[in-house]
Amino acid sequence: MAAELIKGMEIAQKKRNEIKERVNVLKSQGVTPGLAVILVGNNPASRSYVTGKGKASEEAGIYFELIEMPETITQEQLLQEIDRINEDARIHGLLVQLPLPKHIHEEAVIERISPEKDVDGFHPINIGRMMIGQDTFLPCTPHGIIELVKEKNIEISGKHVVVIGRSNIVGKPVGQLFLNEHATVTYCHSRTPNVKELAKQADILVVAIGKAKFVTADYVKEGAVVIDVGVNRLETGKLCGDVDFDEVEQVAGYITPVPKGVGPMTITMLLHNTVLSAERTVASN
Ligand SMILES: Nc1nc(=O)c2c([nH]1)NC[C@@H]1CN(c3ccc(C(=O)N[C@@H](CCC(=O)O)C(=O)O)cc3)C=[N+]21
């Protein structure tokens, strides 16, 4: 029996309509939510993601500002630009598209963003708040994954979640969010000797390692929920996940496709955080 498809694009669209309603309420109160994205250099993948964020923002009625800076800028110039946007009252959310050129220290850049405008949820203050379960900006991809699972009415509490990958932007925080929802969480990574055995025990398997078709049918328990966070561009130009979809959909209970799975939810949660930030400024007035 083939798995049920988790249609991320459809769920994202539904949530974006709800976000648009919130934008309209804010506008009627005289506030237009604003999102600024800083793009350094000319990486085509980064440019395409940023274009996607801009389009989605404008469709939701969010003011979008793209700040492009050349590959050769100094870290100090970038930090100054962040300072400027931190002070700009029209902008409620600011993110610096990653990865950055090698001569720029990513941590220093992230820490310069005001935690009140950190709609990526990457600032150590917001990560700390997430860890202790406080209300904060949640990182977009992990939050989008939780929303997908909840949207399908899949029980999380008491379930075994296995995360393959431990990046700061996906693997680590998604495990934490599942823990906050009362799951038992196992992390697998490059030093884990028995990834396949552990993965096979998962009720919910999250794959975020950046290796095309790494997870095959023999990694998956019958009926498991499989969330594919991979975005691998094949030589043919086709986008491919970290999961071998054709094989795994034969054993899984639910599966997310790539594209149109987790990706659109990432952008949706970014819009959500931007609107949340604007709502907070209204509430605190
Ligand atoms: N500061 C920062 N914040 C990020 O959120 C961030 C980042 N840096 N660097 C890169 C990653 C990657 N990322 C994606 C967003 C949307 C899709 C997405 O919408 N994908 C579409 C397909 C898009 C296509 O065809 O190229 C889909 O899966 O259907 C994918 C990947 C955000 N990132």
**97-142 pLDDT tens trace:** 999 999 999 999 999 999 999 999 999 999 999 999 999 999 999 9
State the pLDDT confidence band at 252, using cuts at 50, 70 and 90. very high
**94: Cβ contacts below 8 Å, ≥ 6 apart:** 35, 36, 37, 38, 82, 85, 86, 113, 114, 117, 118, 119
Instruction: Identify whether the C-beta of residue 256 lies closer than 8 Å to the C-beta of residue 226.
Output: yes
Mean pLDDT of the region 236-242? 93
Q: What is the pLDDT of residue 44?
A: 92
pLDDT at 82 over 80: yes
Active site residue 102: no
CATH class of segment(s) 140-262: alpha beta
Identify which of 80, 79, 67, 76 has the alpha carbon closest to the alpha carbon of residue 40.
Answer: 67
CATH class of segment(s) 31-129: alpha beta
Q: What is the mean pLDDT of the chain?
A: 97
Residue nearest to atom 18 of ligand 1 (CA): 263
State the pLDDT confidence band at 237, using cuts at 50, 70 and 90. confident
Domain ranges of the chain: 31-129, 140-262
> What is residue 93's three-state secondary structure?
strand
The verdict on whether residue 167 carries a ligand-binding annotation is yes
Given strand 34-40, what is the order of strands in its sheet?
63-69, 34-40, 93-96
State the pLDDT confidence band at 283, using cuts at 50, 70 and 90. confident
What was the ipTM of the complex prediction? 0.94
Q: Does ligand 1 have an atom closer than 6 angstroms to the CB of 264?
A: yes
How remote is the CA of residue 264 from the centroid of ligand 1, in Å? 8
Mean pLDDT of the region 150-178? 98
The verdict on whether residue 185 carries a ligand-binding annotation is no
State the pLDDT confidence band at 60, using cuts at 50, 70 and 90. very high
d(CA 32, CA 268): 17
Mean pLDDT of the region 169-183? 98
Same fold, 31-129 and 140-262: yes
Q: Does ligand 1 have an atom closer than 6 angstroms to the CB of 120?
A: yes
Burial group, residue 102, by CB count within 10 angstroms (0-12, 13-18, 19+): exposed
Active site residue 15: no
Q: Which of 120, 203, 242, 244 does the annotation list as catalytic?
A: 120
How remote is the CA of residue 265 from the centroid of ligand 1, in Å? 9
Q: Does ligand 1 have an atom closer than 6 angstroms to the CB of 170?
A: no
The verdict on whether residue 190 carries a ligand-binding annotation is no
Mean pLDDT of the region 34-50? 96
Active site residue 246: no
pLDDT at 1 over 90: no
The DSSP result for 4-48, as a single string, is EE--HHHHHHHHHHHHHHHHHHHHHTT---EEEEEEES--HHHHH
